[in-house]
Amino acid sequence: MTWFVEFAANSIFLVAMGVWLGGVVFFSFFTAPVIFERLPRNTAADLISVMFPRYYNLGYFCGSAMLVAAAYPVYLDPGSANCWATWSLALIATVIAIYAGRAVMPRVRRLRLAAASSAGSPEHGENRRAYEQAHQLSMILNSGVLLLLIAQALLYGYRVRSEFFAG
């Protein structure tokens, strides 16, 4: 039975990591750039805003699945730095995704609307700067998640390789 639980945990982890990493890469490097290239800026921003809740929900779901699945190897070998690193990277990426989706994105949306509605007024410059700062933070957080997921994939590959050659 232990082999099946280990197989299930590894499979769930690998699928969740692959789906999340693939989603981040596809959205960041293909979907968003094409939308902004092909549509007027405001229409593109509106469309991306509609997509963001689904994008972040994918991260919440996959991150949670990774955390649960990565807990099993930690349970089996609590002294393994590799297992703890795997679980920790999943935790950090998930926390960043939750912060970005629940705190930063609503602020970006609110500031974008404030900047648009204040066009031509004295507050416009300040609203625009606040929006750009929040948007920059959102992009930095998204890049951080991407880097953590890449590190996670490399660490997972190293762990599997080590287990393969050790066994």
Note the pLDDT tens digit of each residue in 75-93: 988 998 888 999 999 999 9
Mean pLDDT of the region 113-137: 93
Residue 110's pLDDT band (boundaries 50, 70, 90)?
very high
Confidence bin at 108 (pLDDT 50/70/90) = very high
Q: Determine the average pLDDT of the residues in 146-163.
A: 87
* CA atoms within 13 A of residue 9's CA, in its CB half-sphere: 20
Domains in the chain: boundaries: 2-166
d(CA 71, CA 76): 9
Q: Can you give the three-state secondary structure of 85-129, one letter per residue?
A: HHHHHHHHHHHHHHHHHHHHHHHHHHHHHHHHHCCCCCCHHHHHH
In order of 39, 109, 135, 166, the CA distances from 43 in angstroms are 6, 14, 17, 55
The whole-number average pLDDT for the span 59-88 is 94
**Integer Cα distance of 31 and 142 in angstroms:** 14
Q: pTM surpassing 0.85?
A: yes
pLDDT at 2 (0 to 100):
83
Amino acid identity for residue 94 in this structure: T
Count of all residues that appear for the chain in the document: 167
Amino acid at site 164: F
Tell me what pLDDT residue 159 has. 74
- C-alpha 153/C-alpha 136 separation (Å) is 26
